[in-house]
Amino acid sequence: MRVADFHFDLPEELIAQSPPPVRGSSRMLILDRHAGEYRDDFFRNLPQILQPGDLLVLNDSRVIPARLYATRVRSPHTQASSPDPTGRIEVLLTQQLGSNEWSALVRPGRKVQPGERLHFAASSEVPPLLEAEVLSAADYGERILRFTPTPDFRAILDRIGHMPLPPYIHRDDTQDDRERYQTVFSHEPGSAAAPTAGLHFTPEILEQLRHRGVQIETITLHVGLGTFQPVRTEDVEDIHLHAEHYTLPPATAEAVNAALREGRRIIAAGTTTTRTLEHCAHIATTEAFEPHTGIRLHPHSGQTSIFIRPGFRFRIIDGLLTNFHLPQSTLLMLVSALAGREAVLAAYTHAVRERYRFFSYGDCMLIL
């Protein structure tokens, strides 16, 4: 299967540059994955569409202000001929590796090499608030940074960091993005991008779902390179994702096991939730089998680099709430694995024709 098989034409003006004025007011395209049929609706009607007894699983990861701007510091490791040794460097923290170490994307990456030091400050007029050494370098601007220990790293990050809006949003982040590029149920800080399917939920809609009899539980997957790295191969089989950290809490493991045992539907809010649950199912099927479902999840934390593409056998989820994804992306491949490539591309063609808003701040799609 070729990456090009997941292409669709998207007019630039349909890429949402800001959230809808009111959270929860987005349109929602409903795709029946068994019949291959779709219809237009609104997200606010989700409590009437889901059924009593359904289990809805959310990703409660919280986006951190992970985009920083640094200046390079001359050191014995910096070549004398290196151009622009103190120019501004953009650093996107993608995953915490240890108490002071982070993986990051650095631009322009060719300028920043192992052994160099970076200074981070609110402006050029003040002393640096954070310092980091570049420990190692990989392709496409990936770097490992070690920050000088500070007792208030998170507080400094909140002060000088920027919300990591994706590159297809062509504007600087604003104070409003601190709220809107964050789910109302976010709890565990650590993501470098929002789990965007969750952006549509409001406290009122969550309460309506509970009143309807929908059970709601959470997992945590900190969104990093594994979710949003661009595809740089031509063949789907050659794609390998970066690992991301996740946690499956005891209450969620118990709820999933009960839903599987009782034959109730499990709906994942977002591709990150889907990847976490299906990764946990893969672990479970290699460890122990339940007599009726073949799966029993156990609470734990770990890393996942699972890549879900057409041909994948889903063991947990029956439905998926998700935003519209980029052409030829691994997330579009995941959606196609659940609902079928032709059905998904037909639904996307309809969404383009009906002027749905695409990507992180855009409208959503419910696959049942």
Looking at residue 125, its pLDDT comes to 58
Residue 168 inside a domain? The answer is no
- For the cut 80, the answer to whether the pLDDT of residue 289 exceeds it is no
Indicate the number of domains in the chain. Answer: 2
Looking at residue 83, its pLDDT comes to 44
* Least confident range of 82-86, 165-169, 357-361: 82-86
Report the CATH number that the domain containing residue 72 is assigned in CATH: 2.40.10.240
- Residues 121 and 250 grouped into a single domain: no
Whether 39 and 118 share a structural domain = no
Lowest-pLDDT range, 229-243, 317-331, 345-359?
Answer: 229-243
- pLDDT, mean over the chain: 92
Does residue 167 sit within a domain? no
Whether 293 shows a pLDDT value over 70: the answer reads: no
pLDDT band, residue 129 (cuts 50/70/90): very high
Please answer whether residues 94 and 102 qualify as being in contact, where contact means their C-beta atoms are separated by less than 8 angstroms. Answer: yes
**358-362 average pLDDT score:** 98
273 against 99, higher pLDDT: 273
Residues 197 and 299 in one domain: yes
For residue 86, name the pLDDT band (cuts at 50, 70, 90): low
Which range of residues forms the domain containing residue 96? 67-160
Among 92-101, 268-277, 334-343, where is mean pLDDT lowest? 92-101
Q: Say whether pLDDT at 337 is over 70.
A: yes
233 and 298: one domain? yes
pLDDT at 35 > cutoff 50:
yes
What is the reported pLDDT for 109? 81
**Cis geometry, peptide bond prior to residue 249 (ω within 30 degrees of 0):** no
Give the 3-state secondary structure of 70-122: EEEECCCCCCCCCCCCCCEEEEEEEEECCCCEEEEEEECHHHCCCCCEEEECC
Asked if the structure places residue 200 within a domain, the reply is yes
**Same-domain status, 144 and 156:** yes
Residue 84 has pLDDT above 70, yes or no: no
On whether residue 283 sits in a domain, the answer given is: yes
Name the one residue in this structure whose structure tokens are 């650590």.
Answer: 190
Rounded to two decimals, the pTM is: 0.93
Of 182, 176, 219, the closest CA to residue 199 belongs to: 182
CATH number at residue 249: 3.40.1780.10
Among candidate residues 193, 197, 182, the one with its CA nearest the CA of residue 367: 197
Average pLDDT over residues 87-99: 91
The predicted structure's pLDDT at residue 295: 86
Q: Are residues 25 and 58 both part of a single domain? A: yes
If asked whether residues 57 and 75 sit together in one domain, one would say no
Of 106, 126, 160, the domain-final residue? 160
Q: Is the pLDDT assigned to residue 286 strictly greater than 70?
A: no
Q: Say if 224 falls within a structural domain.
A: yes
- Does 230 lie in the same domain as 119? no
Q: How many CB atoms lie within 10 A of CB 159?
A: 11
Task: Give the list of residues 6+ apart from residue 64 with CB closer than 8 angstroms, or none.
Answer: 93, 154, 157, 161, 189, 190, 191, 192
Shared-domain flag, residues 231 and 342: yes
Interval 76-91 mean pLDDT: 61
Cα–Cα distances in Å, from 134 out to 72, 80, 104? 10, 18, 10
165 occurs within a structural domain? no
Q: What is the pLDDT of residues 218-233, one digit of tens each?
A: 999 999 876 667 788 9
238 found inside a domain? yes
* Same structural domain, 185 and 296: yes
In this predicted structure, the answer to whether residue 85 has a pLDDT above a threshold of 60 is no
Domain assignment present for residue 169? The answer is no
Asked if pLDDT for residue 202 goes beyond 50, the answer is yes
Q: Please report which confidence band the pLDDT of residue 88 belongs to, taking 50, 70 and 90 as the band edges.
A: confident
For residue 321, the surrounding DSSP H or E stretch is: strand 319-323
Tell me, yes or no, whether 35 and 56 share the same domain. Answer: yes
User: Is 238 in the same domain as 357?
Assistant: yes
What is the reported pLDDT for 231?
A: 87
